[in-house]
Amino acid sequence: MQNTDIKNILKNEFKGKFLENFPLSEYTSFKCGGNAKYLVYPENIEDVFKIVKFAKIFNEKILILGKGTNVLISDKGFDGIVISTLKMEKYTIRENTIICECGLLLANLLKICIKNSFSGLEFLAGIPGTVGGGVKCNAGLKKEYLSDRILFVEYIDFEKLDVFKKERKEIFFDYRKSEFNENSFIWKTGITVENDDAKKIKKKIKEYMNKRIKTQPLGYSAGSIFKNPYPYYAGNLIEKCGLKGYSLGNCFISPKHANFIINKGKAKAEDIYKLIKLVQNKVKEKFNIELELEINLIGEFE
């Protein structure tokens, strides 16, 4: 009865922005995974509050999903409400600060920079996903991170059901992670930039893109699977285990970069998970190093 009630409530409250039993494989870069019980597209922060309140009343789990470029979702799907941020993509510019909502694509953020002759974010070129996801996982390169450019973050605390604002100095960021977790919803982020020549900015973006194309494989993947365990590189450790090109089911470790797992097109999430565990075990056996996942596992895995 509860599930029927919340379904009708969400359907009425979010007409044209509510889907049931939606295949999450369509929303993940791995192109695999099961269905979401409910998928909702909020357009503003008031919508998000409504969804969270309904979820609490009916004891439903919540998953925040942008472009799904850093997740592996179980073949069993997600038994709860998936909040898609993709309709929350507004932004404003105040002098040398871009204040953007969580659903703005990083690629579109760079277009805004080019249009306004803003420099400093070129290193984001080729990184898929949204600003919200980028903040949560502190997107970037080996020596350049999004956290270096953040002035503040506004977010919902699910427990306190209120919006909070934190300045950069108050926020914990580290390599490929932040303090923001499943109990918070990143709403707005203030990002600092500098004025520069648009042609120079385009040139830098192209250089970063070319470097990515040369070093990273194409195909259905979630980018780097494992964090680099300082002072080593995960891809190098995996390669030394003789796993480059190794195939399992319909997925394989890229021959171009061993820290990438590619779905040939019909892989199950469970196959990718098994390949992840195999890699972790082999690296542990050979080097006594435990590789930590850079991607997020969603749902149940064997």
Annotation says 122 is catalytic: no
- CA distance linking residue 130 with residue 135, whole number of Å: 9
- CA distance linking residue 193 with residue 149, whole number of Å: 7
Catalytic residue (choose from 60, 122, 154, 294):
294
CB 183 within 8 A of CB 159: yes
Annotation says 254 is catalytic: no
- The HSE-up count of residue 4 (CA atoms within 13 Å, CB side) is 1
Annotation says 176 is catalytic: yes
- Tokens for 284, please give them: 């542990």
Sign for the CA dihedral angle at 250, 254, 259, 264 comes to negative
Catalytic residue (choose from 74, 149, 176, 184):
176
Q: Are strands 251-253 and 261-263 parallel, antiparallel or unpaired?
A: antiparallel
Catalytic residue (choose from 74, 221, 224, 254):
224
- CA distance linking residue 147 with residue 195, whole number of Å: 19
Neighbours of 165 (CB within 10 A): 12
Inter-axis angle of helices 45-57 and 2-13, nearest 10: 170
- Tell me which residues are annotated as active site: 176, 224, 294
